[in-house]
Structure 1
Amino acid sequence: METSGGPELPRKIKLAWGLAEPGSRGPRRGLSLEQILDAAIELADREGVAALSMSRVAKALGFTTMSLYRYVESKDELIELISDRALGPPPEFAKGLGWREGLQQWAIAEREGVLRHPWWLQLPIVAPPTGPNNMLWLDAGLARLSETPLPEALRVKVVLNTSLYVVGRARFSSDIAAAAAAEDGEYASILPALLDPDRFPHLLRAVSEGAFEDDPQDEDLGWADADFRFALDLLLDGIEKLVDAHR
């Protein structure tokens, strides 16, 4: 892939797209950027992203730390590169789906993608994603809307906001799950002991009617998955009104 004209691309973007040559430090043979990124992902999967370091990745590969600097200049650059690589490309979607079912499947697939590596949800979001896999996901989302009357600018907004819901919800669920694991007792059982019926009558009524417990109808999904699907349907309802308004 080559570029012509336009601004000079940052090094991390060139690396992600295979447009940058390795540096001058380290061995010229026996190692590749892809091997480094895959080793870093395996280490993060085993021990969490906090365990990542250039020296530990190098050790896992059987090379010196200096060897890695020929390909990756810093840990921060390494993390940005594995963020896109760990996400991976989107799956193939069935042809002939309506836009709503297609976008729903896209959102569910993206959620599964970000949950595949739990540490991915801990990575800071400091800039719009530019990696090839992220671009493939964006393109696949736009493809789900290609048969709608929405103008391109609105299609992009719909896909980006759907993705924001997917990633934001996954981050929230991950944080809540981690906090719940560290606490004793169930959330629903703790609330009645804290809430004064005169001050929180509506919240206590919701607790007493099981609003914070798993719905038996959603046993196959579990609370987190069912809640994700519930809010996704509400989002799709709103998008459907937008689509209808442009017919």
Structure 2
Amino acid sequence: MWGLGSGGSRGPRRALSTEQIVDAAVTVAEQGGLVAVSMARVAQELGFTTMSLYRYVDSKDTLIELMQDRVIGLPPELPADANWRTALEIWARAEYRTIQRHPFWLDIPISGPPRGPNNMAWLETGLAALDDSPFPPQMKLLLLLNLSLFVISQARFARDATDSDDFAPVLRRVLDPAQFPALSAVLAEGSLDDDNPPGGTESGWAEGLFEFGLGRLLDGYAALSNTP
């Protein structure tokens, strides 16, 4: 992942590279989802035998970890004059858009902290965005990880949420206002209708929910820092 521990120059010239294998695996995942990725399927994509891949990648688990880092790519360049809140907004939206472009990324299990160079670049950029904040170093890390987990959960909701055109109308028919007075009041004023997403945005529920939640999360960070 970091380009360390590569083999020497002796022996037959290698016809593949780790980068080619990872790119092929990403292609397979983009076409058929993460479930379609196997060493055999990736080898087929490349026109090589399955065993030949193991000279470069020791297991499917390692391959998926490499894919996770490759797909997330490099972080955005943040404006030098942006305050910490604005910088975090840009950072969070960039992560959200990147994940949306590669939906299979959300199916990769989170088994521990990311270790790849691209993920470390995102972490470095996010921490640098907090340079002008009053938070101590450890809290900066916790705030950034919390923000990233929020982004991932919102991206998963946006991907997985099914068509909800009949959600509010069905609830209006089946809910007894005497048993569910608070929910019935929300339904009555249209807060759960598809054409009335959170925050008054016009981009639909998933986008509105992300922007509303991002704003409130950063409001909390600002309150914690005692800054406007």
> TM (normalized to structure 2)?
0.90
Question: Counterparts of 2:169 and 2:224 in 1: how far apart (Å)?
Answer: 41
Answering whether residue 153 of structure 2 is matched by residue 168 of structure 1, we say yes
Question: Counterparts of 2:95 and 2:12 in 1: how far apart (Å)?
Answer: 37
Answering whether residue 20 of structure 2 is matched by residue 35 of structure 1, we say yes
Contact 2:17 2:56 in 1 (8 A): yes
> TM (normalized to structure 1)?
0.84
Matched residue, 2:94: 109
Of the three residues 203, 218, 222, the one matched with 2:201 is: 218
Answering whether residue 105 of structure 2 is matched by residue 120 of structure 1, we say yes
After superposition, the C-alpha distances for 1:83-113 in whole angstroms (9 at most, x for unaligned) are 1111111021222011111111111111111
Question: Counterparts of 2:16 and 2:166 in 1: how far apart (Å)?
Answer: 49
Question: Counterparts of 1:195 and 1:27 in 2: how far apart (Å)?
Answer: 71
DSSP 3-state at the match of 2:226: helix
Question: Counterparts of 1:207 and 1:22 in 2: how far apart (Å)?
Answer: 64
Deviates more, 1:188-197 or 1:103-112: 188-197
Query: Any gaps of 5 or more consecutive residues in structure 2?
Result: none
Answering whether residue 171 of structure 2 is matched by residue 191 of structure 1, we say yes
After superposition, the C-alpha distances for 1:51-103 in whole angstroms (9 at most, x for unaligned) are 11111111111111111011112212211110111111102122201111111
Contact 2:158 2:207 in 1 (8 A): no
Moved over 6 A (4+): none
DSSP 3-state at the match of 1:19: coil
How many correspondences in the alignment? 223
Matched residue, 2:119: 134
DSSP 3-state at the match of 1:135: helix
Matched residue, 1:243: 225
After superposition, the C-alpha distances for 1:173-198 in whole angstroms (9 at most, x for unaligned) are 323x2xx25x8x52212212332221
Question: Counterparts of 1:50 and 1:99 in 2: how far apart (Å)?
Answer: 39
Question: Counterparts of 1:144 and 1:48 in 2: how far apart (Å)?
Answer: 33
Answering whether residue 189 of structure 2 is matched by residue 209 of structure 1, we say yes
Answering whether residue 45 of structure 2 is matched by residue 60 of structure 1, we say yes
Amino acid at match of 1:208: A
Query: Any gaps of 5 or more consecutive residues in structure 1?
Result: 1-15
Percent of aligned pairs with the same residue?
Answer: 50
Q: What is the CA RMSD across the aligned residues, in angstroms?
A: 2.1
1:1-16 correspondence runs (5 A): 16=1
